[in-house]
């Protein structure tokens, strides 16, 4: 879907580097959490940090914010080395997973906190602060809520207040740590779209942590995939989906089916039968082929690469997903049009129509 | 159809319930509890006020016009006025450090904070005598500099600080631990200095728990007997606090005066109890985290 990224901020701004993370290492006690981690964040982009739980996303975000300090490596903001800069001077907006709103302050006081915390000489006048709070409340569509307290708001509303509070100080980068992680599915979807809108309107450089691949792919200009404290791949949502650099990235971006295959001369065969999947040059011998559920089709006779017995099937949003037990014991999930139902136990053949191969 | 069940029917309808004891068992238990409370708590309290007023209101008031009584009240107030703020500041600092940071020796510090609660106050007093007394560790040095700690006001203040040491810290540590550091971190990212974040975020979040612990700390500071008794030397008009003054009067068979002064302490206890109950009722959430730590 080439049109999907049209007009996104990174393309508008031409992509000068706003934040450079250089060779960052961090160890807690004895456990290494980040290994020689490097990443460039472009001005104006919305970058998603995607990785499984425990992969070091929060740690990276906290080091960028100045809430934690690296053992090794540098954080550079624009041209300024910020590695040892205290958090107050970094001008970052941080949004926490559990909101971290000030319980004893009203919504307006929460949003104004950063402005009121400034030295008298740099603090805007009362009327100016009030105006800014009003503007931000409009932006997050909670105009009537200035005098409420956090305990009187829903989770989604609290997170919007937290975002407004972070935006109030006009940060050079907005850091969001799983901002929708504590919300239920429908609210998450609404807020996702809303965050995208806000980003398009403000052009604020934003790093967004999530372990939800759909969220990352839908929302971001670029996705950085982390695993065990290392950067696996960074690219646009299309790039990481079409050309994942490793099985880890591929598996993390969605459901996959793993099949033993043989590569030779760029061709990939499963069970002796040729597949349309191409192997990169130099990859020869036994390999693993990874396909998405929709890259398998039901087929008969010689057209099929795999055989199996239907275990069960269920419908989801106009499609159906069928679990097929393969003879060697593995179960694969196939996605197909919801036209023909398969009875449990019936034998089926599966044809591979696409996928990626990686060394064993 | 009647919607109101008699208690008996209700009990029959839910035979598995644990509260199915007969009415008389419940009645007996409640009666025993009330009798026990009356005997051991209310009766002594009433006796204090009854004895104090035994020879009329005039005699009661006379107990306070005495110069020694004045001195005892002044010393008690002075001691509390030093010990409570000291423990307030120390308690906040210690709980802050323990709840919000990881550092070497943290467990040891937590254990040390508890020490005054597990040591008999008399032993605490003796330790001070051994350290600061004329024959004590620092005795010669203090003597050389003409400083008197034991059998003087500094000793009383030190002993009081020691025994009331844990109140604030023990209340605040669990409270702060429960609240975590997210709000403070949010304040810092918004540009607040550490001190500003402490004043505007941490302190408001602990204020009721803090008030509660200060109240208990104050009650103990004014009422402490054992440790103070050891270091005081019982010099009338100089090193007598209210509890010590009560003892002296009592030993002199001056019952009216003894109970009159004691009624002050009893009154303090009642006020403390009242405010404590009010706080517990109104700010249960903020206090219970700390109470669990006791
Ligand atoms: N303050 C800390 N002390 C010790 N270990 C930590 C600390 N913070 C994070 N870790 C460890 O670092 C690893 C990465 O954590 P984190 O950055 O929170 O991952 P993520 O946000 O991707 O889930 C985890 O194994 C976690 O247990
Ligand atoms: Mg995390």
Ligand 2 centroid to residue A53 C-alpha, Å: 6
Tokens of A272: 């002796």
**Ligand in closest contact with the CA of A57:** 1
Kindly determine whether residue A94 and residue B205, on different chains, have CB atoms separated by under 8 Å: no
Kindly determine whether residue A67 and residue B185, on different chains, have CB atoms separated by under 8 Å: yes
Cα distance from B106 to chain A (closest Cα, Å)?
Answer: 16
Instruction: Kindly identify which residue of chain A lies nearest to residue B184, measuring between CA atoms.
Output: A100
- Arithmetic mean of pLDDT over chain B: 86
Cα distance from A108 to chain B (closest Cα, Å)?
Answer: 15
Ligand 1 centroid to residue A272 C-alpha, Å: 45
CA-based nearest residue to A18, from A225, A162, A240, A203? A203
Kindly report, residue by residue over B35-58, the tens digit of the pLDDT. 998 888 889 889 888 988 888 888
Enter the ipTM: 0.86
Q: C-alpha angle A248/A253/A313, rounded to 5°?
A: 110
Instruction: Kindly identify which residue of chain B lies nearest to residue A87, measuring between CA atoms.
Output: B189
Mutate to test the pocket of ligand 1, among A25, A27, A28, A32 (most ligand atoms within 8 A of CB): A28
Q: Whose CA is nearest to atom 26 of ligand 1?
A: A54
Question: Is any ligand 1 atom within 6 A of the Cβ of residue A359?
Answer: no
3-state secondary structure of A264: strand
Kindly report, residue by residue over A28-43, the tens digit of the pLDDT. 988 889 999 999 999 9
Kindly determine whether residue B191 and residue A94, on different chains, have CB atoms separated by under 8 Å: no
- Picking from B182, B190, B205, the nearest residue to A104 by CB comes out as B205
3-state secondary structure of A202: helix
Tokens of B205: 């979040």
Within 8 A of A65 by CB-CB distance, chain B residues are 189
Ligand 2 centroid to residue A213 C-alpha, Å: 15
Q: What is the pLDDT along chain B (294 residues), one digit of tens a residue?
A: 444 444 444 444 454 555 566 788 888 999 999 999 888 888 988 988 898 888 888 888 888 888 888 999 999 999 999 999 999 999 999 999 998 888 888 889 889 888 888 889 899 888 888 888 888 888 888 888 888 888 888 999 999 999 998 999 999 999 999 888 999 999 999 999 999 999 999 999 999 889 989 999 999 999 999 999 998 888 888 889 999 999 999 999 988 889 999 999 999 988 988 988 888 888 777 666 555 444
DSSP string computed for chain B: --S---HHHHHHH-TT-S----HHHHHHHHHHHHHHHIIIIIHHHHHHHHHHTTTHHHHHHHHHHSHHHHHHHHHHHHHHHHHHHHHHHHHHHHHHHHHH---TTHHHHHHHHHHHHHS-HHHHHHHHHHHHSTTSSSHHHHHHTT---TTSHHHHHHHHHHHHTHHHHHHHHHHHHHH-SHHHHHHHHTT--HHHHIIIIIHHHHHHHHHHHHHHHHHHHHH--HHHHHHH---TTTT--HHHHHHHHHHTT-HHHHHHHHHHHHHHHHHHHHHHHHHHHHSHHHHHHHHHT-
What residues of B are in the A interface, CB distance below 8 Å?
182-183, 185-193, 196, 200-201, 204-205
């Amino acid at each position: 879907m080439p049109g999907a990224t049209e007009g996104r901020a990174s393309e508008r701004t031409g992509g000068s580097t706003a934040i450079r993370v250089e060779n960052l290492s961090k160890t807690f006690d004895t456990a290494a959490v980040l290994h020689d981690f490097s990443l460039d964040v472009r001005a104006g982009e919305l970058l998603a940090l995607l990785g499984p739980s425990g992969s070091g996303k929060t740690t990276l975000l906290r080091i960028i914010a100045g809430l934690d300090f690296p053992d090794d490596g540098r954080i550079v903001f624009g041209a300024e080395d910020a590695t040892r800069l205290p958090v107050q001077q970094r001008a970052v907006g941080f949004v926490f997973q559990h909101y971290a709103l000030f319980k004893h302050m009203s919504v307006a006081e929460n949003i104004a906190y950063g402005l009121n915390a400034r030295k008298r000489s740099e603090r805007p006048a009362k009327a100016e602060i009030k105006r800014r709070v009003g503007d931000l409340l409009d932006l997050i569509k909670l105009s009537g809520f200035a005098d409420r307290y956090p305990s009187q708001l829903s989770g989604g509303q609290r997170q919007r207040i937290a975002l407004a509070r972070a935006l109030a100080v006009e940060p050079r980068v907005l850091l969001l740590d799983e901002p929708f992680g504590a919300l239920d599915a429908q609210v998450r979807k609404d807020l996702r779209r809303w965050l995208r809108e806000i980003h398009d309107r403000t052009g604020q450089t934003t790093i967004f942590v999530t372990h939800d691949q759909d969220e990352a792919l839908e929302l971001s200009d670029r996705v950085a995939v982390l695993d065990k404290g290392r950067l696996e791949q960074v690219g646009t949502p299309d790039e990481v989906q079409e050309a994942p650099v490793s099985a880890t990235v591929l598996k993390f971006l969605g459901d996959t089916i793993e099949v033993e295959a043989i590569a030779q001369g760029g061709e990939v065969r499963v069970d002796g039968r040729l597949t349309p999947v191409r192997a990169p040059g130099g990859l020869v011998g036994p390999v693993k082929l990874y396909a998405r559920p929709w890259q398998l089709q039901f087929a008969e006779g010689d057209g099929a690469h795999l055989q199996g017995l239907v275990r069960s099937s269920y419908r989801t949003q106009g499609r159906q997903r069928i679990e097929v037990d393969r003879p060697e014991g593995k179960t694969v999930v196939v996605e197909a049009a919801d036209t023909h139902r398969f009875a449990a136990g019936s034998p089926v053949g599966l044809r591979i129509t696409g996928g990626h191969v990686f060394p064993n | 159809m009647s919607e109101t069940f008699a208690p008996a029917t209700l009990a029959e309808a839910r035979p598995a319930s644990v509260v199915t004891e007969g009415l008389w068992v419940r009645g007996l238990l409640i009666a025993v509890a009330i009798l026990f409370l009356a005997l051991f708590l209310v009766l002594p309290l009433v006796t204090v006020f009854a004895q104090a007023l035994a020879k009329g209101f005039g005699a009661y008031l006379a107990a306070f016009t005495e110069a020694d009584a004045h001195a005892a009240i002044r010393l008690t107030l002075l001691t509390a006025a030093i010990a409570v703020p000291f423990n307030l500041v120390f308690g906040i600092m210690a709980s802050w450090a323990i709840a919000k940071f990881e550092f070497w020796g943290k467990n040891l510090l937590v254990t040390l904070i508890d020490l005054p609660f597990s040591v008999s106050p008399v032993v605490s007093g003796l330790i001070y005598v051994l350290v600061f007394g004329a024959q004590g560790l620092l005795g010669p040095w203090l003597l050389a500099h003409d400083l008197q700690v034991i059998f003087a006001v500094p000793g009383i203040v030190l002993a009081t600080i020691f025994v009331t040491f844990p109140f604030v810290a023990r209340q605040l540590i669990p409270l702060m631990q429960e609240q975590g550091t997210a709000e403070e971190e949010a304040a810092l990212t918004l540009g607040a200095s550490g001190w500003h974040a402490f004043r505007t975020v941490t302190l408001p979040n602990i204020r009721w728990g803090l008030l509660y612990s200060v109240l208990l700390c104050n009650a103990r500071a004014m009422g402490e007997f054992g440790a103070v008794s050891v270091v005081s030397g019982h010099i009338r008009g100089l090193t007598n606090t209210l509890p010590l003054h009560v003892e002296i009067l009592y030993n002199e068979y001056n019952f009216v005066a003894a109970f009159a002064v004691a009624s002050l302490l009893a009154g303090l206890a009642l006020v403390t109890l009242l405010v404590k109950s009010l706080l517990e009722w109104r700010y249960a959430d903020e206090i219970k985290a700390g109470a669990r730590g006791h």
